[in-house]
Structure 1
Amino acid sequence: MTRSTTVLVIGGGATGVGIARDLALRGVDVTLAERGGLASGTSGRSHGLLHSGARYAEADPTGAEECIEENRILRSIAGACIRDTGGLFVQLPADDPDYFERKRAACEELGIDTELLDATEARDLVPDLSEAVERAFRVPDAVIYPSRLVAANAADAADQGASIHPNAPLESVTVEDGRVTSAHLGGTVSETIEPDYLVNAAGAWAGEVAAMAGLDVEMAPSRGVMVAVDYDRVGSVLNRCRDPDDGDIVVPHERQAVLGTTSVPASDPDDYERADWEVETCIEECATMLPPVADAEIERTWWGVRPLYAPDEAESERRGISRGFLRLDHAEDGVENAVSVVGGKLTTYRQMAEATTDLLCDRLGVTTDCTTAEEPLPGADDPGTLDEFVARFDGQGPTDSDVVASR
């Protein structure tokens, strides 16, 4: 079977479904295909942190500004996809006090609200915080449940006429005379799509998708482990106030704490080592901030692969690769109707989608403005409805399985 669509989006993570939603809201015919269930890649395998931007404030101010802007938008549109916990950056004796001051000053300069706390005030907020903590500052971090977020975007896109296909892997792409003319989908769809435009939003797998169209997108994925332990007394996101390193974030869920993470090069986003030392390091390092997690029962562990884009980047430097995103217009590479969107963070998915959709609409002559920053997601205030969306799109990921699956 063969059918046509204006835009074919490959990748059913947050960015892909965000693009599908944005296009559909602007009246563009769009089809989305994901090889597994929605959010089965990087989006559904994170630690679930809605960044305030503080983590990047002094090293990547542009990325930090993107985070705080999107943090505020998602709080207004995403309802029960978000849990508003706040966050703390804590300083331990081994941490550079000048780094603490630089980070806080950078936050203030970027408009990221902070509140300086002494050790006693910090422990009033988190009673089990280490006695070694010297001081902290509060930031507007939060928790995000990606399964709900992705499924709600997909539901809205479908309501606006988009065709959303989980479990429909891309099997081939045909390029003729500098244009993508067709793409064959397998799995539950088994049909050939003839798109006017192809969008590669496959995250860590963007290089493989691009290669099917004879394009070169150089990804440098890195793996990271998350460890969920049986502990419900943290309340606030905890960040170690030092240069990003292994085991420096604790993310509170309803009855668990998620400890993260590591950063290890992964040449293949489907086939990589899952090493015991990563789990042990995360627990040990997070316990320096929150000692009880050292002895808490491990409920589950999972690894995610970051979709880092870094042409010619040395493997040893992957933790330092920018977490910003890029829109790659492949007209410059000889395929005039293909676009890739790479990099980024879960927090900034909507902005990535808007930027990509703006480019497509410009090419298509569509003048309708983006409304995704104002339009609430469907079911946003009803966890039960959101979880029905997750089931509808086979969207359960490990990040929030303790919350979404419990409903």
Structure 2
Amino acid sequence: MQTTVLVIGGGATGVGVARDLALRGVDVTLVDRGSLAAGTTGRSHGVLHSGARYAEADPSDAAACLAENRVLREVAPACLDETGGYFLHLDGDDPDYFERKRAACTDLGMAVETLSGAELRKRVPEASPAVERALAVPDAVVSPSRLVVANAAAARDAGATIHAHAPVEDVHVVDGTVAGADIGGRLGATVEADVVVNATGPWAGRCAALAGVSVPMRPTRGVMVGVDNPGVDAVLNRCRAPTDGDIVVPRGDEAVLGTTSVAVGDPDDFERSEAEIERTVAECAAMCPAVDGSVRRTYWGVRPLYAPAEADRDGRAISRGFALLDHADGGAAGFFTVVGGKLTTYRKMAEATADRVCERLGVPATCRTADRPLPGADDPAELDALCAAFGVDAPAR
């Protein structure tokens, strides 16, 4: 079979690329080895970041988060829960860090509000008495599953073809140019393509190797712990340098506690540490004591960290920004890898990728995804029906 662009990977970025290209009139086929949203996207805590988390350390990435946060509120409201968020400064935390965070958020043009501990507890009664002050920021909670299927449906409606349970077995490169791929599973076909986009997250290095090129990855695992929600209705972040157990995310009657960051060699086969679960619960309970109860469930995600020159650095020090790699210089023209980033910026990542692909193809059409509502934009029931239709059953619903 033939297509113009083959997109490998059915997480948020992959379906975002497929949608963007299809809306530009490009013939697109997307494949994933499992169901949509089964990888990193569907195993996240589901925070729609305001950018506050990264404001002082990476203002460029924070600005991208803030911009995309605003876009998604317009085009995908049924995928979101407008919870708001707080960064909590506890007794003993570094006061200078709090001030740097507040100043950096203000510099970004973010609407922030400083609250005393007492004012915060009026809004969030479950917050610890140890909270001395807090920053209110425009965080939200996103449904990764709904967001993925909305993009997949939009891509399909625009002409894209989507195949789940269709693993890539080989990527063909002929005379230095990509030519397509062998696809197994339910598809079982060779797909000829002018361009191949590798959007496989923490598996990007493996996929690239099939094309004979290198993508240096340093994936890290993180645990999410689901507990009974004691009544928290906003995202709670610890106002300190990112570390284990520093976020509480309300998801209906459940609160998801996160997370850890430990390097893994194999994103399919890694240790699930009971100690990490216990540490995550204990650290989150410092912000909100009532979450220290019975664990309902745990699930683990693997971050797709791109680390070309950072292999010896702690995983939390590696940029959460994204990288778009053109492998023409590596002997695989027409093969692109998009890696890194985060759920909040998936649309921006997809736009940058589609821009580069269209440049190669000579397609003059521009991006239309920033102001075009997604299917089911105001209808959660429609999105849940799409989840069932696409067979999506990710831990992060």
Q: TM-score, normalised by structure 1?
A: 0.96
| Residue of structure 1 equivalent to 2:341 | 344
Distance 1:264 1:251 in 2: 21
For 1:366, the equivalent position in structure 2 comes to 363
Pair 1:42-2:31 in alignment: no
Q: Which residue of 1 aligns with 2:233?
A: 235
Counterpart-to-counterpart distance in 1, 2:154 and 2:385:
13
Matched, 1:205 2:186: no
TM-superposed CA distance for 1:272, in Å, is 0.4
1:396 paired residue number:
393
CA contact (8 A) 1:232 1:252 kept: no
- Equivalent residue number for residue 381 of structure 2: 384
Q: Deviations over 1:342-378 (max 9, x none)?
A: 1100000000000000011111111112110000000
Computed over aligned residues only, the root mean square deviation of the Cα atoms, in angstroms, reads 0.8
Q: Which residue of 1 aligns with 2:301?
A: 304
Inter-partner Cα distance in structure 1 for 2:353 and 2:257: 33
CA contact (8 A) 2:230 2:291 kept: no
Is 1:25 the equivalent of 2:23? yes
Is residue 318 from structure 1 mapped to residue 278 from structure 2 by the alignment? no
> Any stretches of 5+ residues in structure 1 without a counterpart?
401-407
Quote the Cα distance in structure 2 between the aligned partners of 1:315 and 1:385. Answer: 46
- 1:78 alignment counterpart: 76
C-alpha distance in structure 1 between counterparts of 2:312 and 2:80, whole Å: 34
Report if the CA contact (8 A) 1:122-1:135 is conserved.
yes
1:405 corresponds in structure 2 to none
Worse-superposed segment, 272-281 or 180-189: 180-189
Instruction: State which of 172, 175, 178 in structure 2 corresponds to 1:174.
Output: 172
How big is the shift at 1:93? 1.2
| Residue correspondence of structure 1 range 252-291 to structure 2 within 5 A | 252-291=250-289
Report the counterpart of residue 106 of structure 1 in structure 2.
104
SS in 1 for 2:121: helix
In structure 2, the residue corresponding to 1:398 is in which secondary structure?
A: coil
Q: Are the counterparts in 2 of residues 232 and 254 from structure 1 also a CA contact under 8 Å?
A: no
SS of residue paired to 1:262? coil
Post-superposition offset of 1:232: 4.2
The secondary structure found in structure 1 opposite 2:91 is: coil
Give the letter for the 1:226 counterpart.
Answer: M
SS of structure 2 residue aligned to 1:192: strand
Find the aligned partners of 2:117 and 2:179 in 1 and give their Cα distance.
62
Aligned equivalents of 1:282, 1:209: Cα separation in 2 = 32
Give the Cα separation in 1 of the matches to 2:393 and 2:235: 23
Q: In terms of mean alpha carbon deviation, does 264-273 or 308-317 score higher?
A: 308-317
Question: d(CA) in 2 for partners of 1:134 and 1:323?
Answer: 29
- Residue 312 of structure 1 deviates from its aligned partner by 3.7
Shift of 1:45: 0.1
Task: Note if contact 1:141-1:237 (Cα within 8 Å) is conserved in structure 2.
Answer: yes
* 1: CA distance, partners of 2:170 / 2:327: 18
3-state DSSP of counterpart to 1:399:
coil
Residue 327 (str. 1) matches residue 324 (str. 2) = yes
Instruction: Work out the percentage of aligned pairs sharing the same amino acid.
Output: 62
> What do residues 219-247 of structure 1 show as CA deviations (whole Å, max 9, x unaligned)?
10000000010114111100000000000
> Could you list the per-position Cα deviations for residues 286-329 of structure 1 after superposition, in whole angstroms to 9, with x for gaps in the alignment?
000000111x2211100000000002423451111000001101
1:404 paired residue number: none
CA displacement 1:196-234 (0-9 Å, x = unmatched): 000000000000000000010011000000001011411
8 Å contact from structure 1 (residues 198, 338) kept in 2: yes
SS of equivalent residue, structure 2 residue 300: strand
Aligned counterpart in structure 1 of residue 372 of structure 2, from 366, 371, 375: 375
Helix, strand or coil at the partner of 1:287: helix
The gaps in structure 2 that reach 5 residues or longer are none
- Distance, in Å, in 1 between the alignment partners of 2:222 and 2:314 is 15
* Code of the aligned partner of 1:168: A
Q: Secondary structure at the match of 2:232?
A: coil
TM-score (norm 2): 0.99
Distance (whole Å) between structure 2 residues aligned to residue 105 and residue 313 of structure 1:
28
Q: Which residue of structure 2 lines up, in the alignment, with residue 89 of structure 1?
A: 87
Give me the whole-angstrom Cα distance separating, in 1, the residues matched to 2:212 and 2:92: 49
Deviations 1:374-407 (A, max 9, x none): 000001211111011112222221012xxxxxxx
